[in-house]
Structure 1
Amino acid sequence: MIFFDSRPSDSNDYVQVIGRLDNQRVTKWIRTDYLKVPDNFYKYKVFVPAANGSGELGETLSTPLIGRTELFISIGSFDTELEAQNLLKYVKTKFARGMLGVLKVTQHNPPAKWAKVPLEDFTEHSDVYWSVPIGKIDEQLYRKYGFNQKQIDFFEEKVQEMK
């Protein structure tokens, strides 16, 4: 397989691959006809570090841009960028990260630790208005899931804000 440092200007189709080389993050280009891709390869996804933090309830999740990790997990697989953006907003809510904290007690972030985080509809047909600020999304989620004031106060106090 041949990797290119910049996208070649020939008539072939290419995909950009982001990885690590000599402990540095690099981007390379590879021809798509060299790849056997999974069904969701051309879908929009959100990536989070496979390990991050200490497992403390409500800690913020680091983003790939500032996180120091070599492994990521993808969450979601969407036809539109809007749906992926809405999922990203959901991951940033105190509600979702508080629910994640129910099972995440170490730095490891495998899919099983997300089992208590309710699955939402991220389309324009959702019962959650995703176009509002994250704090307002939290308010909608607390109402939707019947949180009482004591539960809301706990999440608001213990879960750190994430921008």
Structure 2
Amino acid sequence: TSFEDKLASLTILTAFIPMLMDTGGNSGGQASVTIIRAMSLGEIQFKDYFKVVWKEFRIGIVCGISLAAVNFLKILLVDKLLMHNDEITLMVDLAICLTLVLEIIFAKFIGCTLPILAKKVGFDPAVMSSPFITTIVDAVSLLIYFGMATLLIPGLS
């Protein structure tokens, strides 16, 4: 509810929420599937946690920057110029794209951490990981998004 006034003053921010949340959920889900498969094949164990996190962090950076770069151009060229949307400023575009980078990194971290921790405490990672990952990543994605928007867009603080 603390972001309601911000959304009301710049409604274009709401248009990008589904894309951001889906991207985070997909990134976290992909990481968890990879980790669950590797655990079931005996390729990784709890002792490999930091190695796994480091690998997913690097993948998150590459994916995040790649998707943010393409999205930045798409928002600037299609959404702003072709659709003549004056609410989209450079700072709005930047807030969206920086959110993408941060949320993908975070989603990869959650996606690789939860299955490993679930197995360590005796739960089936394949059953419990996906709902937890989706819920956590969706909530944090919104916090990152509105935090980034508040930080970058004049008049939203």
TM-score by length of 2: 0.27
Which structure has the larger Rg over C-alpha atoms?
1
More strand by share: 1
Higher helix share: 2
TM-score for the superposition, normalised by structure 1: 0.26
